[in-house]
Amino acid sequence: MERLSGLDASFLYLETPNLHMHVSMASVFDPATAPGGYSFARLRDRVSARIEGPSVFRRRLVEVPLRLGHPYWVEDVDFDIDYHLRRAALPSPGGMAELAALVGDVCGRQLDRAKPLWQMYLVEGLQDGRVAVITKIHHATIDGASGAELLGHLFELEPDPPEYATVHGDASDATSGGASPSHHGHGGSGPNDHGHGGSGPNDRPPRRRGLGVPPDYVVLGRAVIDRASRPLEVSRIGWHTGRAVVDMMRARRAAPSPQARGALPLTAPRTSLNTAITPHRAVALVSTSLDDVKAVKRVIGCTVNDVVLAMCTGALRQYLLERDELPAGPLVATVPVAVEPSLARQMRGSNKVSAMWVALPCHLADPLARVEHIRAGTRGAKEQHRALGIDVLVDWTEHASPNLFSLAVRAYTRFRLAEHHRPLYSLVVSNVPGPDFPLYLAGAEMVAGFPLGPITDGAGLNITVMSYRGVLNWGLMACPETVPGVWDIARALGTALDELMAVTGVGSSTPAGISPPVPAGAPAGPAATPRARARRASPATAGAPEATGTRQTNGTLSAGTRQTNGTRQTNGTRQTTGTSATRQTSGTRQTNGTSATRQTSGTRQTNGTLSAGTRQTSGTRQTNGTLSAGTRQTTGTSATRRTGGTRRSGSSGAPAGAGPQEPQTAVPPHGSLP
């Protein structure tokens, strides 16, 4: 029996029905290297044998009565491998979009605290005969660095190592169940139909004997002893925290420039990233070349982490520009950092990680200026983090009250308080070093591993990247109602790298990994859900700027032109989804009034004067060779579609003096893939 540290337990207290505090990994394997080919039975047996070692896979939580202290880990004597190891399959065509959709569905479900806090999905049906493994484990159990080490224990260093049955003894009795894969995102066949394999009770590995759950009086007694020393400890921590804050302020004053002072929490500008989240999760997976990143690093003289942050900054700048919400100042990213080994040995528990805040200057147009800003900011953030010390956060979490902590978090979520104050930070960006040598599972070679971290209220995006054999694999986790364009951000990472390579003169980027960024002009990522569209449907602001690259020729919008103030132009068609459309007429743009207009053929020339909320056409109007004369007065809401000389009105303009009508909203189709 082992008590959780305060930092480990805090990840339990932070969890709500909308906020899931587990970390995940989507790994793709090529079974061509497996002796005898792929076999679910063999893979299941290997995984079952490998988890015999670490206790992390067989321990579960025991709460202290009345929640007077942090929970304890105990061995689960009723451990059932078939509950944790599940089988699934992707629908056709089995590409990265289908895999990402399944990962989002898996990550949108909380782990059962009555069981060991992990699950693993063995996924079949990928393109080229590949298979995937989706691992989900609670943050109270591991951090990023220990998660990478855990992968090293689960996986193998050669395709056909000695049989683990000779090492682990009774693991050789574990045989496969006859479950067939499910095509609905989680396993669903077998006798009990609970989403895991359908092996019978005689097929499961023998249970190990353990002490089981201790009596309540034992757990309660330990909690009372811990609480007895709390007043003295809190006094010591308060004094130490005050000194640490003074040291940090001195470090900020000693910074050579404002950029070198680093960022602070509660200084981030509000964007669409910073709203209350829902239980749903959307995932995007993309790969870039590590060699390209290192080439940029050598020219600029910064670190790989600086280039990674600069790529995130460039991608977010493009995303926010397209939505006309680029802030005037930098975003603030929370960047987890590993604790130095000397300090880590003194810390108890599974999580030995801290965090620093780094400014992401999305408002700067120059890519090199953004890198310089980030380089100075990360140096300052490290100095301030060193001055503040890791033990301040750890000490306070040790003495946090479970009841008070959980109550405060649930109230924060229930009342959507994240939307009523300045964001604590904008997003999380994490860079986890991975192995530069191949890993295998049941003989199948791992070709990519995409890490995924949790999101929180007020920060609906997490970007985590892990290196593996010369490739940076990016996993983006988001709330689809908050960040409907997570695939747009993923694709923009490649664009940001191309931009950095161009300005540094190191050539063009090289496609790498199994999920390189989709080139511009390719089909977009999965469409936003109806709920996502409904949440972000709001009146556009008159006079908002156009995106860079918009073209106008003699009052005619040409194919490929894109308007971001609620209007999109594609192949000569302008589609309006907002409540304030922009109309381009003879070089003049009118943004007042409520107008939703789509014109699919021809060029329209209008002479006269446009007034707010009113469309007036006088003189001669030409539409596909047909001349008409006269004057037309329209007041209120107008939703007009013009095709081949025929004019159709979905919500016709009301006569003068009539009140405004509800505009027609164009809804993009579902199912588009990245």
SS3 of 350-385: CCCEEEEEEEECCCCCCHHHHHHHHHHHHHHHHHHH
Q: How far is CA 191 from the centre of its chain?
A: 35
Amino acid at position 222, single letter: R
Cα separation, 138 vs 520, in Å, equals: 37
Q: How many CB atoms lie within 10 A of CB 579?
A: 18
> Are 464 and 430 in contact, with CB atoms under 8 Å apart?
yes
Tokens representing 10 are: 């805090």
Q: Which amino acids are annotated catalytic?
A: 139
- Please tell me what DSSP assigns to residue 537: -
Alpha carbons 612 and 594: distance in angstroms, whole number: 9
**Number of other CB atoms surrounding residue 519 within 10 Å:** 10
Q: Quick check: helix, strand or coil at residue 243?
A: helix
Strand, helix or coil for residue 273: coil
Q: Which helix (H) or strand (E) holds 486?
A: helix 486-504
User: Going by DSSP bridges, is the β-strand pair 583-585/588-590 parallel, antiparallel, or unpaired?
Assistant: antiparallel
pLDDT for position 158: 86
DSSP state of 524: P
Characterize 248-281 residue by residue with b for buried, 16 or more Cβ atoms within 10 angstroms of its Cβ, and e for exposed: beebbeebeeebbbbbeeebbbebbbbbbbbebb
Kindly list the averaged pLDDT for each block of 10 residues, start to end, along the chain of length 674.
88 95 95 89 87 82 88 91 95 95 97 95 95 95 70 80 48 36 41 39 42 72 74 74 83 83 91 96 97 96 97 98 96 88 63 86 97 94 80 76 89 94 96 91 94 96 96 98 96 96 92 77 42 36 36 37 38 38 37 37 38 38 38 38 39 38 35 36
Distance CA 404, CA 614 (A): 57
Decide if 486 contacts 461 (C-beta within 8 A): yes
Q: How far is CA 432 from CA 132, 296, 338, 436, in A?
A: 20, 19, 9, 13
Consecutive H or E run containing 6: helix 6-13
pLDDT at position 216 is 79
Residue 588 in contact with residue 565, Cβ under 8 Å?
no
Enumerate residues 6+ apart whose C-beta is below 8 A from 472: 287, 288, 289, 290, 293, 308, 465, 466, 512, 513
Question: What structural domains does the chain harbor?
Answer: 2-191+208-216 (3.30.559.10), 233-434+458-504 (3.30.559.30)
CA distance readout (Å), 199 to 41, 131, 145, 442: 11, 21, 34, 19
Whether residue 127 contacts residue 94, with contact meaning beta carbons closer than 8 Å, is answered with yes
Please give the pLDDT value at position 110.
96
Beta-bridge partners for 3: 72
Do the bridges between strand 471-478 and strand 583-585 make them parallel or antiparallel, or are there none, so unpaired?
unpaired
In whole angstroms, give the CA distance from residue 587 to residue 368.
35
Q: What are the two backbone dihedrals, phi and then psi, of residue 407, each rounded to the nearest 5 degrees?
A: -65, -40
In this structure, are residues 133 and 55 in contact, taking their beta carbons and an 8 Å threshold? no
Question: Residue 328: which of 376, 378, 271 has the closest Cα?
Answer: 271
User: How far apart are alpha carbons 305 and 544 in whole angstroms?
Assistant: 34
Q: CA torsion 52→55→60→64, rounded to 10°? A: 150
pTM for the predicted model, two decimal places: 0.71
* Residue 4, amino acid: L
pLDDT number for residue 516: 83
E strand spans, 562-625: 567-570, 573-576, 583-585, 588-590, 598-599, 614-617, 620-623
- Both tokens assigned to 52: 């015999």
Which residues, other chains included, contact 397 with Cβ-Cβ below 8 Å and sequence gap of 6+?
5, 6, 7, 9, 10
**Both tokens assigned to 640:** 């007009």
Nearest to 72 by CA among 456, 392, 347, 402: 402
Residue type, 593: G
